[in-house]
């Protein structure tokens, strides 16, 4: 396969390249693209150095699969050009809710890949880890309602956000206060703080990220009427997103039944005792980690943690590509 990676020098792009290598994805050729400021940078893939190319309109000729790890604006501009030449797997939010574009989590709704028209959307990081847990439960007992609170790491906003966070931690470590001019990426300081806002708010008071979780979960699971509420919080953690989830089913489901279902899913690691997963445990892991399973008044409480850059982005994208070449 002749593969392209757009946004190759970003956090997600770097991990897509790493996952392609770790999975020994069949690449006879790989081309790496980024913005002009990264032009000429060299990246090692399978013991060879590749020079990063500036993204241009004719960059996609001869490619079979192109991964986009860019912001929505770049995707909207270049994906239409790329899909004329290759199959595109887009990690941005630009096309996720387009009715003509499959939104895919392999193992959850792999069957919709066959309807692609040279474009497949990679879901939001928080959505991926959520539906990987909800889907097998819903296959056994229909889900009635979901409440989710996400605690999302700084890396979800990119490299500059990580640098801002590191600097703010240094300021706090010196016993100083964070100044207004030290806050650029987030609406408020993230060092020593939590921010219950990811994106802008709509008229109902839901943030962009909350609406992503709600709408994408409904689309992926094929339940447009699913009752689901989300609250998304940015927390002072480098990598790994956590979710506190409460699930109500159409019949009473025991804690033991839920644990039995989840323990049989290959990509889920279930904590059965008093231990529980934390973001520090999941860095560079491809599994979804689940713990603190509780039963309360017929509902089930869950704690779900995953690496947002790998499981929540790069690994899912590469698994989509693996599904494509199987078909």
**Strand 241-249 relative to strand 143-152: parallel, antiparallel, unpaired?**
antiparallel
Other CB atoms closer than 10 Å to residue 176's CB: what's the count? 10
Can 232 be counted among the known catalytic residues?
no
Q: Which residues, other chains included, contact 129 with Cβ-Cβ below 8 Å and sequence gap of 6+? A: 241, 243, 288, 304, 305, 306, 311, 312
Q: 299 — phi, psi (to 5°)?
A: -105, 160
Q: How far apart are CA 154 and CA 237, in angstroms?
A: 6
| Catalytic one of 116, 125, 149, 232 | 125
- Of 302, 288, 311, 324, which is closest to residue 26 (Cα–Cα)? 324
Longest CA–CA separation in the chain, Å: 59
Q: Is 40 left (phi over 0), alpha (psi -120 to 50) or beta?
A: left
* CA dihedral sign of residues 304, 305, 309, 315: negative
The size of the chain, in residues, is 327
Dihedral over alpha carbons 102, 108, 110, 115 (to 10 degrees): -30
- The CB-side HSE value for 207 (13 A sphere, CA atoms) comes to 15
Can 241 be counted among the known catalytic residues?
yes
Catalytic positions: 125, 241
């Amino acid at each position: 396969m002749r593969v392209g990676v757009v946004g190759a020098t970003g956090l997600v792009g770097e991990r897509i390249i790493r996952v392609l290598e770790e999975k020994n994805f069949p690449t006879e050729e790989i081309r790496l693209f980024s913005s002009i400021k990264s032009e000429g940078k060299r990246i090692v893939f399978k013991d060879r150095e590749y020079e990063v190319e500036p993204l241009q309109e004719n960059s996609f000729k001869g490619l079979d699969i192109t991964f986009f790890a860019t912001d929505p604006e770049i995707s909207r501009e270049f994906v239409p050009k790329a899909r004329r030449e290759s199959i595109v797997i887009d990690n941005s939010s630009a096309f996720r809710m387009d009715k003509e574009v499959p939104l895919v989590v392999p193992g959850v709704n792999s069957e919709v890949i066959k309807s692609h028209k040279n474009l497949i959307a990679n879901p939001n990081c928080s959505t991926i880890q959520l539906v990987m847990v909800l889907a097998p439960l819903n296959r056994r007992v229909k889900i009635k309602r979901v409440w989710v609170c996400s605690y999302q790491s700084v890396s979800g906003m990119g490299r500059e956000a990580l640098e801002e966070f590191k600097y703010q931690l240094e300021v706090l470590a010196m016993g100083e206060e964070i100044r207004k001019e030290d806050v650029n990426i987030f609406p408020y300081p993230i060092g020593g703080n939590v921010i219950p806002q990811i994106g802008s708010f709509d008229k109902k008071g839901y943030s962009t990220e909350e609406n992503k979780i709600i709408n994408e979960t409904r689309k992926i699971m094929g339940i447009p009427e699913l009752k689901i509420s989300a609250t998304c919080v940015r927390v002072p953690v480098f990598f790994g997103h956590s979710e506190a989830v409460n699930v109500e089913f159409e019949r009473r489901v025991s804690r033991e039944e839920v644990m039995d279902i989840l323990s049989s899913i290959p990509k889920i690691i279930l904590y059965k005792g008093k231990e529980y997963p934390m973001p520090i445990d999941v860095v560079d892991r491809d599994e979804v980690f689940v713990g603190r399973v509780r039963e309360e008044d017929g509902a089930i409480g869950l704690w779900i943690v995953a690496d947002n850059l790998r499981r929540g982005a790069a690994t899912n994208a590469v698994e989509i590509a693996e599904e494509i070449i199987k078909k």
